[in-house]
Structure 1
């Protein structure tokens, strides 16, 4: 089946590059914020080394959750099976699945960090790690859900293929928010 050149399914290199290049430049600048936040938290991460171990997983999983939802939403748009109607039970099922997955992943992250910290002798109490991981992780999951919907819908309405834009937007934005939220929650819970 031939896809018309003006449709969302167009794979013209020039169109993809013209849509993505400015977006990627802006997203690179946004991701610098996550790096600056991480650098500002260096003292806390040095003092509580187990938190430094949690950072990559925390940030990566938030972006992955957003990417999963964005992909599912993009597919539904391409198939013509969604209009982002708040009454759509499948959309709510996807949101519930992302939240359940987030709760599972971030609980496992806290338990894994606790066990690693206990083994290495520089850990934090399990309750503290669970509090930090679940508050940060669930907050990041909610942000990933909001940006997944917003990026997918905006791309679709602007006539840009959501497959090209949503994952870079969601993962970069969630990286920044994930880092800021994780560092902030850690500082609050640890009383710093």
Structure 2
């Protein structure tokens, strides 16, 4: 059952799940109140910088690896033959990232409220959320694959597509989504439980880790699965795999429905996922059009969008936890800290990319300054959007843990990709972006 427990500083309540056998005892109620009161220490704004910077740096490494991998696999046979995969990449990364970040945000809130402290409740919540993740990943994988294929056909009528190509895109998307969700979902659950044990606020860590590692893992599985399926393109191997994956969905649904802690998630939170897919597809069209024209776009796009999206997810997750616990978030302090820490992270990324010549990026002074300016605009917009959208959802009785992150990341993907492509175009018009005025050091 769910109990309403008073928060710390306001006459507001939060709902927490409890077992029937302990819901009537006064000591348990007092214990749960104390758990909410104890979250003040782990959610202090003073811990935001030093807790958020390490996972953000790890996320940059993951995003750079994902960008480098995309720059490599774009020349693989499966990507050159089935070009709809370029449209699928940002759509699938957005949908998959949203699933795992929603999971991270939900469990972070439950962790800060003390709901993962009791083994029986923790077991039900963790396994239930992992099962929900499988249902969501299989469905959004199928929809993303079909949507990307149809979008590619509509906007590229000169390319003759076949049934076998369409089913390859859908199956690769479903396999990729399900397998990466299983691996990354398990990792996120373990990470959040460890954060609680060591009194680290998972709001500052979980979402960036889910986003960056998820992108890299998803790209690896998608490219590998696509290459394998391409070998059997004109057979019915992909069709058989699709039928098997589709048949597994009702089994996962039945398992989730039998778990009272998570069965409500089967019918809630779907609309933002698919709205985000439609929004993110615009970024996919931009990426598909310009990825071959501008060197380094494949590397810079996931890094720019990823850093901004991670900062927005941290901010939204913190606000959501505070709203659930009835506490006030120090908006100004959090915004300043998150905005300032992104600048040195972007500079470190540019230096690293230039020094090791990653992703065919021609980093002149003019381009580097332009990129930093674009990133500042993107992050400022993201933080503003995260606060306004999360508060609006809460005041309209939508749980921000399930609704805010898909919209935030999708809009950031479109804005970031558009700004980056526009900056490439602007610099190319004045002939600056192709010039590298920096002498690389001799190693």
For this structure pair, what is the TM-score category when the shorter chain's length is used for normalisation?
Answer: 0.7 to 0.9
Q: C-alpha separation between the residues in 2 aligned to 1:27 and 1:123? A: 29
Residue 13 (structure 1) aligns with: 263
SS at match of 1:3: strand
Residue 302 (structure 2) aligns with: 56
Please, which of 334, 357, 377 is the counterpart of residue 139 of structure 1?
377
Residue 148 (structure 1) aligns with: 386
Q: Deviations over 1:94-141 (max 9, x none)?
A: 101111122122212222222233x88x54244134223211211110
Residue 289 (structure 2) aligns with: 40
Residue 23 (structure 1) aligns with: 272
Residue 217 (structure 2) aligns with: none
Decide whether the 8 Å contact of 1:66 with 1:170 is kept in 2: yes
Q: Following superposition of structure 1 onto structure 2, how do residues 102-141 of structure 1 map, counting pairs within 5 Å? A: 102-117=342-357, 123-141=361-379
Q: How far has the Cα of 1:9 moved from its partner? A: 4.3
Corresponding pairs, count: 178
Q: Deviations over 1:62-104 (max 9, x none)?
A: 111110110111112122222x7xxxxx211110111112212
Q: Deviations over 1:142-171 (max 9, x none)?
A: 121122012211110111111111222211
SS at match of 2:362: coil
Decide whether the 8 Å contact of 2:291 with 2:297 is kept in 1: no
Q: Following superposition of structure 1 onto structure 2, how do residues 152-163 of structure 1 map, counting pairs within 5 Å? A: 152-163=390-401
Q: C-alpha separation between the residues in 2 aligned to 1:191 and 1:9? A: 56
Decide whether the 8 Å contact of 1:37 with 1:180 is kept in 2: yes
Structure 2 residue runs of 5 or longer lacking an equivalent are 5-12, 17-260, 431-443
TM-score (norm 1): 0.80
Q: C-alpha separation between the residues in 2 aligned to 1:40 and 1:74? A: 37
Structure 1 residue runs of 5 or longer lacking an equivalent are 85-89
Q: How far has the Cα of 1:22 moved from its partner? A: 1.7
Pick the structure with more helix per residue.
1
Q: Following superposition of structure 1 onto structure 2, how do residues 71-82 of structure 1 map, counting pairs within 5 Å? A: 71-82=317-328
Q: How far has the Cα of 1:21 moved from its partner? A: 1.2
Select the structure with the greater relative contact order (CA < 8 A; seq sep ≥ 6): 1
TM-score (norm 2): 0.37
Q: How far has the Cα of 1:54 moved from its partner? A: 1.7
